[in-house]
Amino acid sequence: MNKSVFDVFDNADDEMIEKLSSFTDDDDEVKKRILNMSERKYQNLKAGISENDVKDKNEITMSVADKRPVRWYKPLAAVAAVAVIIAGVSMITNSLNKYTDPSDDVLPAVQTETDSPVQSEAVTDSQSSEQPTDHTTTDTNLPSEDEMKELYAKFADFYSDINDTLISKQYELVSDGLAEEYKIKNRDNYINVELLCDNEPDGTHLDYYYEFNDDRFSTLEEFNNYYSKFFDGTDCAFKSGKKYGKPDEERLLSIDETLEEFYKNGWLSYLIMECDNKLYISEDTCFEFINGAPDIKDYFSEHSFEVTENSFRRIRLSRDEKCIYATSVLFNKKENNTWEIADVEFNGFSLESYWELGESTSEISDIICYLYISPNYGEEIMSSPDFETDEELIQIPEFDETITEAKARDILIENGLHHRSTRLVYSDTIPEGYFIKTVPDENSWVLKDTFVDIYISRGKKPDKVKLPDVYGKPEGEASKILRDLGLFNYKIHLRYTEDYPDGVVIDSNYQANDLVDPDTAYITLYVSSSNPDFKTQENP
């Protein structure tokens, strides 16, 4: 999808702004910061201090904590970033020159990411060097290079095995019987698991699952047992998902818990699930692996970083025809002195083959971090928080088309919603004054106290509309009057004047009482502005 298509939204009219505004928000921290900035500027305005005065003063006196980055910061940061990129590129290039076949010339000339390891020393060459590279330390409590290498190798075995399993398409559509029981429907080549879930805004949770068809394991327990062999007998548990509306909470899928129960308890998608002694895998999981997992066993370099007594990060570099991949694994030592995989991060560097959505591939950690070693599998289920109904979400009721605006407003309020505005639109089928629809739509799930627009019929569209007198009215009011008449082809031009307050209509290319065709008339409203920049606007 080409992002430039969305440029068409630039300089949108009021109606489109309304629609777009429902898609934006910021977290409370950002809003608080902006409100504080506004208050500070307001106080300055009250005191008669201009913004320039404030800026001049702040250059000298403002504390570091309050200060926005000064102008020299950006070039400096850019230089630093370039330095890091060069270091990263040098390291990768050196590594390749040193460890790969010189005849192989597919390495991209320039790399575009900076998250690669920047040290160029003490790398372990998987192809030519069997000698471990020790870390330059005398602390004997630190894990040795051998130990770290062995741990990563186990991870790599596990990773490769599960990768092979997932991409080998050893799964197939679920049977009809199961589909009926769990309301699972066939749709094209997917299984469509559609379950009612009170905690989703749209009332349903939709996911796609494939059935595993693998002789090695048929239950979640067998699956975990199978993969635990990669970790010296410790369990390999698969986390199940996060609770809707509470992204920090997560828990495991209980072996005796059905998919339906799990969803109804408000938990979101998970990777592997078991139903009726069969295993299913989510499409999310397959997608991640199929679309970008590198073959990390065929690598050309690896190295440990941030090595402490209780943790270390090890990065392995591998490559294919188009990309260099850095698979970074964070190992933490547990209380019983065994190691667990705390995080896996995966970056692909390429000039051409960014992923489909054009963003970093590092988020594969969201998938891989679910695969971790946990000896407390059972305890974690027991200690998981009980389900709590999320009362903040309510459903927009269904309206009868024979109700009026006043009744629709009452129904919204009765249901814990607010009425934001009423839109009058033409309709060939619904008589004037009666309800057409709401935005957001009826039956959709929204947060309590959401503002809802009501659309009311203006009756059939007339051939001609008599223009009202909007001179002297504020821009917003004039716009609303035009929109309410079904006149959407209008445009606002600012024009400098000292004779009127800012923001009122002072002229137009049509006169009041003109009869216009709502489909073809293009109305320009000239709105007053005290900004001298608009002195040069031409007259209508």
Partner 1 sequence: MTYDEYDRLQSKSSEQAHAALFDEYYRYVKTIVFNRLRSFSNEDIEECISDVFADVFFKLSNDPLAGDIKAFIGTVARNKSIDHFRKHSKNTGKSVSLDDDTMPELRSGEDITGENEKKELRCILMDCITSLGEPDSSIIIKKFYYDMDSKQIAGELSMKPSAVRMRCSRAASKLKELLEARGFKEGTL
Q: Of residues 176-205, which lie at the interface with partner 1 (CB under 8 A)?
A: 201-202
| Per-residue tokens: 391 | 């009362």
Say whether residue 38 binds partner 1 (CB under 8 A): yes
Contacts of 98 (CB under 8 A, 6+ apart): 125
Number of H-type helices and E-type strands within the chain: 13, 23
Write a three-state SS string for 7-72.
Answer: HHHCCCCHHHHHHHHCCCCCCHHHHHHHHHHHHHHHHHHHCCCCHHHHHHHHHHHCCCCCCCCCCC
Say whether residue 31 binds partner 1 (CB under 8 A): yes
Least separation in angstroms between CB 455 and partner 1: 13
Say whether residue 127 binds partner 1 (CB under 8 A): no
Q: Of residues 160-179, which lie at the interface with partner 1 (CB under 8 A)?
A: none
**DSSP 8-state symbol, 474:** B
Strands (E), 350-450: 371-373, 393-395, 418-425, 435-439, 445-447
Closest by Cα among 322, 283, 329, 323 to 167: 283
Q: Of residues 229-288, which lie at the interface with partner 1 (CB under 8 A)?
A: 241-242, 244-247, 268-269, 283-284, 287-288
Least separation in angstroms between CB 449 and partner 1: 11
Nearer to partner 1, 44 or 218 (CB): 44
Q: Of residues 421-450, which lie at the interface with partner 1 (CB under 8 A)?
A: 440, 444
Window of 18-26, 100-108, 379-387, 397-405 that interacts with partner 1 by CB under 8 A:
18-26
Query: What's the CA gap between 307 and 317, in Å, rounded?
Result: 18
Q: Of residues 501-520, which lie at the interface with partner 1 (CB under 8 A)?
A: 502-503
Residues that contact partner 1, how many (by CB under 8 A)? 88
Say whether residue 34 binds partner 1 (CB under 8 A): yes
Nearer to partner 1, 394 or 403 (CB): 394
Partners of 329 in the beta sheet? 314, 344
Say whether residue 114 binds partner 1 (CB under 8 A): no
CB 242 within 8 A of CB 250: yes
Site string for partner 1, 56-85 (x = CB under 8 A): ------------xx----------------
Exactly one of 115, 194, 453, 477 binds partner 1 (CB under 8 A); that residue is 477
Nearer to partner 1, 192 or 254 (CB): 192
Q: What number of other Cβ atoms are within 10 A of residue 6's Cβ?
A: 9
E strand or H helix at 525, and its extent?
strand 523-529
Residue 399: alpha-carbon gap to chain centroid = 33
Least separation in angstroms between CB 216 and partner 1: 25
Q: Of residues 355-374, which lie at the interface with partner 1 (CB under 8 A)?
A: 356-357, 359-360, 363, 366-367
Say whether residue 12 binds partner 1 (CB under 8 A): yes
Say whether residue 348 binds partner 1 (CB under 8 A): no
